[in-house]
Amino acid sequence: MALRLATYYHAEDVPPLPGSNVFYSVEMLQALQQTKGFRPVLLVAYEDGRAVGKLLCITRRSLRFRFFFTKTYVYGTGEYFPSSYRKDEIFRELLEYLTRCFKDRSFLLEFRNLEESLFGYRHFRECGYFPVRWMRVRNSIHGNCIDKWMSISRKRQINRGLKGGAEMDIARTEAEVEEFFALLKRYYSSKIHRYLPGIDFFLSLLRQSSERSKIFIVRYKGKIIGGSVCLFSADDAYLLFSGGLRKSYPLLYPGVLAVWNAMVYAHNRGYSHFEFIEAGLPFKKYGYRDFILRFGGRQMSSRRWFRVGWGWLNRLLTKLYV
pLDDT tens readout for residues 266-300: 999 999 999 998 877 766 677 788 888 899 988 88
Comparing C-alpha atoms, which of 100, 76, 123 is closest to residue 236? 76
Flag whether 251 is in a domain: yes
Confidence at residue 57, expressed as pLDDT on a 0 to 100 scale: 97
Q: 62, 93, 127: which is the final residue of a domain?
A: 127
215 CB-contact burial (10 Å; exposed 0-12 / middle 13-18 / buried 19+): buried
Helix 174-188 with 199-208: angle, nearest 10 deg: 140
Confidence at residue 29, expressed as pLDDT on a 0 to 100 scale: 96
90-138 tens-digit pLDDT: 999 999 999 999 998 899 999 998 888 889 999 999 999 999 998 889 9
> Looking at the DSSP assignment, which residues form a beta bridge with residue 133?
303
> In terms of domains, do 19 and 104 share one?
yes
> In terms of domains, do 50 and 165 share one?
no
Confidence at residue 68, expressed as pLDDT on a 0 to 100 scale: 52
Do residues 26 and 34 touch, judged by C-beta distance below 8 A?
no
117 is in which domain, residue-wise? Answer: 3-127
Confidence at residue 1, expressed as pLDDT on a 0 to 100 scale: 66
Q: How far apart are the first and last CA of the chain?
A: 36
Rounded Cα–Cα distance for residues 8 and 218 (Å): 37
| b/e sequence 164-186, b meaning 16+ C-beta within 10 Å | eebebeebeeeebbebbbebbee
Do residues 30 and 204 touch, judged by C-beta distance below 8 A?
yes
Q: 127, 150, 178: which is the final residue of a domain?
A: 127
> In terms of domains, do 152 and 206 share one?
yes
The contacts of residue 287 (CB under 8 Å, 6+ apart) are: none
Rounded Cα–Cα distance for residues 267 and 237 (Å): 9
Q: Find the largest Cα–Cα distance for the chain.
A: 64
Confidence at residue 278, expressed as pLDDT on a 0 to 100 scale: 82
- How many Cα neighbours within 13 Å face the side chain of 152? 0
Flag whether 277 is in a domain: yes
Confidence at residue 67, expressed as pLDDT on a 0 to 100 scale: 46
Q: Which residue ranges of the chain lie beneath pLDDT 50?
A: 65, 67
